[in-house]
Structure 1
């Protein structure tokens, strides 16, 4: 019995020991699992945090703030500022914001002890994206001169009417003209509408021509040679026949590359023999992009304008980006013509209406009935009002876009509330400059409108000439 009791006691001790070992092992295991789960949760949380607040590497930070434009500090710089990638667009519109917001997300967090230089850098980054495209008063003055076309006292002989009036429209038909721009219509459709409306009332005695480029092939590299050589005068220089002209205009669609230089070369060849002594020669080039066929349109335009044909080459940039705008401006300037940027069909029609008025003036000149100068001054006053309204509209859009961008940086945790207010101050200063500048320009334009047209070019160039910067 004593032996049995001793065995039973041993078994009880062993069982209790094993049970305790199991409980201890279970406790250790549970503790280990809890620690692991906690670590995993922390890791996942940190991962998400990193995902939402990913900081660019020092190399990518450097790229973000590389070659940023200087924010304007005076009227000349404001007039000549390059438009940003999102110029005059409403960046809070859903389809635009989805592309714009990532540009704010990749900005590094602004240092807590940010310097003035740091604030300037961040503001310049925003400005580089949404800077607007302010109109140049020099372009308006050139249009006034153009409206006085035919005056025998004009210093530029090209602006004196001759016995024959020849006008050619060179129309870009590259693939990008298929872009939908307004009311569900493509840029090409809007351009064709404007051209038709322009020539609908052309004088019977005037000769018109239509040249098109980039209308064959595709935008692929394989089709480059074919497309770049596709330059065609689809309506030969002759009196306007509406049915025949419209048939020529409607036969092509946007397709390939952009041989601007080649188109001007082709035009120059077809105008040979139309000496400026007896011919008023006017070229209208409508393009939505930069030369892509390896030509030099600026050099060709300068050569064309310097020939005995002496045409006035006016250029209309249709929804162009900053790079294309710069080149097309140079094309117009090299030929002493007018450059205009338009963003919709109505603006394009307005530019052609100005040319239509000149055609009507030429017809009146042939009948010895010159336009009254006072009426011209009234028209110029409306031009000034339109210039001012457009400036103020662009200034407002620029201010709002900068403000929205600053708020985005705050929401993304890139800046603090105090830093947001500091950046806002710079936005207010830029808006004040825009208001002061348009007041100054508007007063100057009204003063110039009262002076003789031949004095306008010199005075406006002296004040706003980009070479004085």
Structure 2
């Protein structure tokens, strides 16, 4: 009996142990399920934070066509080498808050990541239409096929509107943008024909950039040299009397320029304006509206605009001002580029000097000049393409060093960069072919027009 009791007791213990083990296994299984769900939830949150992060919102699309390349918005670090003193630190700070790519990124995540990188690295490829406008401007006075504003008149009036807002104090190549602009302007006007009437208008030179000075600065636009023949001492004195200081009233400046030009009807006057600015309108005006009214008036000026180290927002506005009068917009980053733009106007004005004796231009020379322009355009395009590709790779290196991406991610993102390079190469071929065709057709058409007009064989 005693042995049966002991056997029964051990059987009971075995039964309890089995139940306990089952319960333990059940608890472990349940715990594992909960942990898996938690991990899935974390992964879901991380994926959502990557694609839905504010960092990835509102980014420009990656260009897929020729028009897309030409219209692409320049990146924050366009034309800058990432691996150089000052820039490296800025880019590292820029990318430190970007979420890291997950271990196995989705297509959507790769796309968002590359768009972000591209938005930092993209360069500004010159619009070929701007080059064609420069050709038209260079052929000023050559034919009755041109708009009347492009025909030489007995009088020539040139006004330079110079931005003297505080941002023009930025230093480039050891000098402020204002100093570089003044030097280029002085060289330009000093080489013009003596019969040209010159005006210099300035804005942003009074007050400060503080909100309390906004009204004063926005209303202080001054014609410091007013439609006179060039006199070195007087012009230099006018040019040196102001320094970069306040706000940017572009619209009001064009409005006051319009008033001054009203006495110079395009029937007897060729009217040219150069607006040099490094920023967007900041005085609540509408410069595009004023520019359109100006262009459609009896004055009918050509408004050429030079953007000095401008961002994408300012570039869009300044280009719109130039387009309103079929003028030329150009972005420049240093004095040499600024001087090149003034040189084109100088060549036209020197031709005007001899126009009264000979109404025809040397078309063969113009053809060669245009071909040289295409060559320069091609070289610039290829430089920008390679420069942009290098900058993307530099940013990828920094992202990998910060642990945001791994080597596999970097390889995939480089592949996407190569895909964009193919689009840019295709755009290059298309544009250069079109420019060559446009030049050839334009010169031939002009020759025919002159031959008919003057009953003279032009070879």
Q: TM-score range by the shorter chain?
A: 0.7 to 0.9
Corresponding residue for residue 69 of structure 2? 78
Q: CA 1:139–1:120 in structure 2 vs 1: closer, same or farther (change >3 Å)?
A: same
Task: Please state if 1:148 is matched with 2:139.
Answer: yes
The residue aligned with 2:356 is: 366
TM-score under structure 1 length normalisation: 0.83
Cα deviation, residue 452, structure 1:
2.2
Cα distance in 2 between the residues matched to 1:282 and 1:434: 35
Structure 2 residue 197 is matched with structure 1 residue 219:
no
Instruction: Write out per-residue CA displacement over residues 175-209 of structure 1, whole angstroms, 9 at most, x where no aligned residue.
Output: 10010012x11100110111111111211111110
Q: Structure 1: how far apart are the matches of 2:425 and 2:50?
A: 38
Q: Is the 8 A contact 1:289 1:317 kept in 2?
A: yes
Deviates more, 1:339-348 or 1:329-338: 329-338
- RMSD, aligned CA: 1.8
1:305 to 2:295 alignment = yes
Residue 265 of structure 2 corresponds to residue 275 of structure 1: yes
What does residue 64 of structure 1 align with? 55
Q: Which runs of 4+ in 1 moved over 4 A?
A: 453-456
Query: Quick check: 1:154–1:160 contact (8 Å CA) kept in 2?
Result: no
Matched, 1:357 2:347: yes
Q: Deviations over 1:26-67 (max 9, x none)?
A: xxxxxxxxxxxxxxxxxxxxxxxxxxxxx9993996111111
Report how far residue 157 of structure 1 moved.
Answer: 0.6
Q: Does 1:87 find its partner at 2:78?
A: yes
Q: CA deviation at 1:246?
A: 1.2
The normalised TM-score by structure 2 is 0.85
Corresponding residue pairs, total: 401
Indicate which of 176, 184, 193 corresponds to 2:167.
176
Q: Distance in 2 between matches of 1:193 and 1:110?
A: 49
SS at match of 1:167: strand
Residues 1:99 and 2:99 aligned together: no
CA drift at 1:71: 0.5
Distance 1:427 1:59, change over 3 A: closer
Q: Choose from 390, 394, 397 the match for 1:404.
A: 394
Q: Which of 233, 238, 258 matches 1:248? A: 238
**Which one of 244, 247, 255 corresponds to residue 265 of structure 1?**
255
Q: CA deviation at 1:440?
A: 2.1
Instruction: State the distance in 1 between where 2:294 and 2:47 align.
Output: 50
Give the superposition deviation at 1:104: 2.2
Counterpart pick for 2:108 among 108, 117, 123 = 117
**Structure 2 unmatched runs, 5+:** 1-45, 447-459
2:332 alignment partner, one of 339, 342, 346? 342
Give yes or no for the alignment of 1:432 onto 2:455: no
Corresponding residue for residue 129 of structure 1: 120
Q: 1:313 to 1:393 in 2, by over 3 A?
A: same
The alpha-carbon deviation at position 103 of structure 1 amounts to 2.3
Counterpart check, 1:449 vs 2:427: no
Partner of 2:281: 291
What SS does the corresponding residue of 2:86 show, helix, strand or coil? helix
1:408-427 counterparts in 2 under 5 A?
A: 408-427=398-417
What is the 5 A alignment of 1:234-245?
A: 234-245=224-235
